[in-house]
């Protein structure tokens, strides 16, 4: 469905990347009005924005004054997306200033507002910028964490604009949810994703078919709902979810260490990764030759990450996944009890639309109270929303757990 999006562009070198973001939005059928700051036009000119959007472009409130643009643009928007959001622009937005059309639009918008910061590391980490970001988040805005990587010149570090595709994914989730947005603001959510690999020799491993698609959908959706998101990704080839901090691992033991470290202070941990149950006891230092007589592959168990998390659970919400090929509900309930989880997501990976790497999933949500909800075929982003809806309800319930609809 077409939505009205205001794309605000700050005066940063990363403004050129927003041309790709604009293309993604317009090709998805959204009506996009680009509102740059005056200095942003030093990086990308007015003609480029107008040609790509098919909409007029101006930076001041005096052009077309009879239409009261400094009020009407924000009032009519379904989403205001600012990318790049510079340190200066974040400061002016936090202070409620209205010196140009973009900051005036931010004051009049009553729709979701999403900021994608981009600046040098020192500027991002400065206490003033962090205070401004915290203030905007408290007011309900979604401020993504910047990516870490190459900046201008020889500098590198946190402050890089997330990739346009990642920002677009978060924007899409905000548009799908409508006015209710930052219900996970102030919460830290840890998500594991992908599939671990256990080395047999330097060229072979024991692994699985998980691609991390569902885990990354959870991360992107949690970021769109205002959470601080940490992803522990095992062998995932997807682009990093915008707004999430990503730690990359290979094996189950590496994942255990990374998840336990990330879980400190977390409000929820969602173990969506497919973790190998066993690993070779004696991996070979050299490639095992085809001509050699095959030896029996002796296995030993990998650490049980969910069980370890349960021993230090505290008030943290702990969610697991059970990927099964038969008796899905029975096996999911068994795992729920054994691991002492709050919620388990059971899915039959052989069901139509629920294959590894696909865009959709069919799952059962079962909580510790025994309540079960069978979800129909949904996109993995919609599945992520349902899981996070449960997390929000769980965290907001002081004396009882949220209730799922019981399926007979």
- In this structure, the number of other CB atoms found within 10 A of the CB of residue 408 comes to 3
> H-helix or E-strand containing 5?
strand 4-9
Verify that 98 and 236 share a domain, yes or no: no
In angstroms, the CA 100 to CA 116 distance is: 19
Verify that 192 and 165 share a domain, yes or no: no
Catalytic (active site) residue 208: yes
Domain of residue 199 covers 188-288+297-396
Give the pLDDT band (50/70/90) at residue 396: low
Verify that 98 and 152 share a domain, yes or no: yes
Looking at residue 293, its pLDDT comes to 67
Q: What is the pTM of this model?
A: 0.88
Q: What is the rounded radius of gyration, in angstroms, for the C-alpha atoms of the chain?
A: 23
Verify that 218 and 158 share a domain, yes or no: no
- Residue 238: exposure state from Cβ atoms within 10 A (0-12, 13-18, ≥19): middle
Verify that 172 and 204 share a domain, yes or no: no
Residue 408 within a domain: no
Share of the chain above pLDDT 70, in %: 94
83 closest CA partner among 126, 23, 27, 140: 23
**What's the number of domains the chain is made of?**
2
Residue 335 within a domain: yes
Verify that 155 and 279 share a domain, yes or no: no
Looking at residue 182, its pLDDT comes to 86
376 closest CA partner among 343, 403, 405, 337: 405
Mean pLDDT of all residues in 381-397: 90
> H-helix or E-strand containing 123?
helix 121-125
Instruction: Single out the catalytic residue among 208, 235, 302, 347.
Output: 208
Verify that 266 and 334 share a domain, yes or no: yes
Verify that 323 and 347 share a domain, yes or no: yes
Instruction: Report the CATH number at residue 148.
Output: 3.40.50.1950
Mean pLDDT of all residues in 362-380: 95
């Amino acid at each position: 469905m077409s939505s009205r999006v205001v794309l605000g562009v700050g005066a940063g070198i990363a403004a050129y990347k927003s041309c790709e973001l604009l293309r993604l939005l317009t090709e998805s059928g959204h009506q996009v009005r680009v509102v740059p700051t005056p200095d942003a036009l030093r990086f990308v000119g007015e003609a480029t924005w107008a040609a790509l959007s098919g909409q007029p472009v101006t930076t001041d409130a005096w052009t077309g004054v009879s239409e009261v643009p400094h009020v009407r643009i924000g009032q009519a928007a379904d989403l205001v997306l600012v990318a790049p959001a510079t340190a200066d622009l974040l400061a002016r937005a936090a202070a409620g200033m209205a010196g140009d059309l973009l900051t005036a639009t931010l004051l009049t918008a009553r729709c979701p507002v999403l900021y994608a910061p981009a600046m040098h590391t020192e500027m991002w980490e400065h206490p003033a910028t962090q205070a401004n970001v915290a203030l905007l988040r408290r007011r309900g805005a979604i401020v993504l964490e910047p990516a870490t990587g190459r900046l201008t010149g020889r500098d590198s570090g946190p402050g890089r604009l997330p990739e346009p595709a990642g920002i677009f994914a978060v924007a899409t989730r905000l548009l799908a949810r409508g006015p209710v947005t930052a219900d996970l603001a102030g919460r830290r959510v840890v998500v594991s994703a992908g599939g671990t690999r256990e080395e047999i020799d330097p060229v072979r491993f024991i692994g699985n078919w998980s691609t991390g698609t569902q885990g990354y959908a959870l991360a992107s959706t949690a970021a769109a709902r205002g959470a601080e998101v940490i992803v522990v990704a095992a062998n995932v080839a997807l682009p990093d979810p915008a707004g999430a901090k990503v730690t990359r691992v290979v094996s189950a033991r590496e994942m255990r260490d990374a998840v336990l470290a990330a879980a400190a202070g977390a409000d929820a941990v969602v173990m969506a990764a497919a973790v190998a149950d066993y690993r070779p006891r004696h991996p070979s230092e050299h490639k095992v030759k085809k001509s050699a007589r095959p030896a029996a592959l002796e296995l030993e168990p990998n650490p049980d990450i969910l069980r370890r998390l349960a021993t230090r659970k505290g008030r943290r919400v702990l969610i697991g996944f059970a990927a099964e090929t038969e008796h899905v509900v029975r096996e999911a309930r068994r795992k729920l009890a054994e691991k002492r989880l709050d919620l388990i997501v059971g899915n039959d990976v052989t069901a139509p639309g629920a294959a590894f790497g696909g865009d959709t999933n069919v799952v059962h949500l079962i909580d510790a109270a025994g309540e079960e909800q069978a979800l129909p075929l949904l996109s993995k982003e919609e599945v992520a929303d349902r899981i996070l809806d449960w997390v929000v309800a769980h965290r907001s319930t002081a004396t009882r757990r949220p209730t799922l609809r019981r399926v007979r």
